[in-house]
Chains A and B, each alone.
Chain A
Amino acid sequence: MLLCLAGCGNIPKDPEGTLDRIRREHVIRVGRVEGGSVADASKWRQVLARLEASTSAKPVFRSGMLEPSLLDLKAGKLDVVVGGRFHEKTPWKTRVTLGPPIGRIETPTGATASHIVVRNGENAWIMLVQRETEAAGREP
């Protein structure tokens, strides 16, 4: 039944139409957090390249600090934030949607990981980002 339901049309859709707009305007508005590691940057670049290929949209970068970028993401001024590293218990995980972890590091105070961050509720866009992040994770 699940597999049958999974075939049902264009569900989910984005309440704010993020994925449709990206495909229509061919632009992904990316908030880039400065100061991340080279390894993390290499991985999110791979993800962005995959998103570019699957949506035919070009990333347009805007650099900034982590929290102001996340607030802009919540307000719908950005489509995705890259380069941010989060503690596993970050309070942001209910306010925005953290993609699959990239470069997880165990520390004495808990694990941290880099995440590609998407606005809550934009489920079609979130699913695409998750899919491409997982696919990029399987690449060398």
Chain B
Amino acid sequence: MSEGIPDQLQGVMRRAERLEWWSIAWTISVIVIMGAAMGSSQTMKTAWIEDCLSLIPPAVFLISAHVERRSANARFPNGFARVPSLAFVIAAAALTALGGTLLVDSAISLISQEHATVAAVHVFGKEIWLGWIMVSAQVYSIVVPLVLGRLKLPLAKLLNDKTLFTDAMTQKANWMTGIAGIGGVIGIGLGYWWADAVAAGLISLDILNDGIRALRAASAELVDGAPRALDSCDIADDASALHAALDARFPGAEVHLRETGRVINAQIVGAAPPGDTLDPRDYWPGDPNRAWRLGRISFVLPSSDRGDVSEG
């Protein structure tokens, strides 16, 4: 078993990594096509910047997966199990910065009443309004993240990987951007100059909301808060079940749960470790296939000669 990734997740992890490489390649193709069709539309600019920044989560995921496999050493005696947490913070910060930047940009466009010029181009000798090219590029930019996001979501849940989940959310934001973007461009075509900036602003709000939610969950993890759910800032269901099971097993003791990367570490304060059960898996209350979630359980003795005893 590698240091950070449990054995039973190795296959899923490799699938996720392959998917992220494909994701980067497809996203680059979207960036090139959208960049070529961008013109001076605020919506298109918003969507294009979003496409560029959506490269960050898959890149961060691939780097963290690589580092997570490294063995513990003298400089990092606890291994690299927390690398996914760091990756999650970076991905969440990127998503928040993206939403904030785009919202300000759209607000400036709206307040300054910028009228986007979307003129004509020549395709095969025929004059075509650039807006139709933009709409075609947006359609392509919808299909790619729609497919990738749907493929990533189940893997993120299997791996309990918040970076991959944030990435799947970014893909969702991307295809929503595409749909709103088409609305913005058609709005320009119909003579509603504000449609472009309003569409871009609505997209930005959604991205900002996803980013803030992810950043809150990432911050909770950094300060050793109780494990959070993948898709919200609430405490994860499996962590609540584990807490209840440990409470029942060690009445009167304090149960502290924290998340280290994709695994939960439990500390029982005020109880002695039972002599008969040494494997953390035996404490996992739910699906045995998910028992890898409990990485370590430690005990702080109630007596004056207390000291940590680790099992597993």
The answer, yes or no, to whether B117 is at the interface (CB within 8 Å) is yes
Query: Judging by beta carbons under 8 Å apart, are A130 and B119 in contact?
Result: yes
Query: Judging by beta carbons under 8 Å apart, are A6 and B128 in contact?
Result: yes
Query: Judging by beta carbons under 8 Å apart, are B123 and A12 in contact?
Result: no
Query: Judging by beta carbons under 8 Å apart, are B129 and A127 in contact?
Result: yes
Query: Judging by beta carbons under 8 Å apart, are A121 and B189 in contact?
Result: no
- Smallest CB-CB separation from B119: which chain A residue? A126
Question: Which B residues lie within 8 Å of A119 (CB)?
Answer: 115
A 117-138 contacts with B by CB, 8 A: 119-123, 126-127, 130-131
Q: What is the interface of chain B mostly: helix, strand, loop, or mixed?
A: mixed
- How near does chain A come to B275, taking the closest CB pair, in angstroms? 72
Tell me the total A-B contact number using a CB cutoff of 8 A.
74
Query: Judging by beta carbons under 8 Å apart, are B128 and A12 in contact?
Result: no
CA gap between A28 and B42 in the complex, in Å: 29
Tell me how many residues of A have a C-beta within 8 Å of chain B.
24
The answer, yes or no, to whether A110 is at the interface (CB within 8 Å) is no
- How near does chain B come to A18, taking the closest CB pair, in angstroms? 10
A8-51 vs B, Cβ < 8 Å mask (1 yes, 0 no): 10011111110000000000000000000000000000000000
- Smallest CB-CB separation from B129: which chain A residue? A12
CA gap between A64 and B117 in the complex, in Å: 25
| Known contacts A5-B135, A12-B129, A14-B191: A121-B115 contact under CB 8 Å | yes
The answer, yes or no, to whether B120 is at the interface (CB within 8 Å) is yes
Question: Which A residues lie within 8 Å of B128 (CB)?
Answer: 2-3, 5-6
- Smallest CB-CB separation from B133: which chain A residue? A2
Tell me how many residues of B have a C-beta within 8 Å of chain A.
25
Query: Judging by beta carbons under 8 Å apart, are A11 and B131 in contact?
Result: yes
The answer, yes or no, to whether B127 is at the interface (CB within 8 Å) is yes
Contact of B189 among A2, A3, A13, A97 (CB under 8 A): A13
- How near does chain A come to B200, taking the closest CB pair, in angstroms? 15
Contact of A2 among B123, B190, B191 (CB under 8 A): B123
- How near does chain B come to A31, taking the closest CB pair, in angstroms? 18
| Known contacts A12-B129, A123-B129: A1-B115 contact under CB 8 Å | no
Query: Judging by beta carbons under 8 Å apart, are B116 and A11 in contact?
Result: no
Question: Which B residues lie within 8 Å of A122 (CB)?
Answer: 115
The answer, yes or no, to whether B283 is at the interface (CB within 8 Å) is no
CA gap between A119 and B193 in the complex, in Å: 13
Contact of A12 among B118, B126, B133 (CB under 8 A): B118
7 further contact pairs, Cβ within 8 A, besides A5-B135, A12-B118: A1-B136, A2-B133, A123-B119, A123-B189, A126-B117, A127-B129, A131-B120
22 contacts between A and B (CB under 8 A): A1-B136, A2-B128, A3-B123, A3-B126, A5-B132, A6-B132, A8-B132, A11-B129, A11-B186, A12-B188, A12-B189, A14-B191, A15-B191, A15-B192, A120-B117, A121-B193, A123-B119, A123-B129, A123-B131, A123-B188, A130-B119, A131-B127
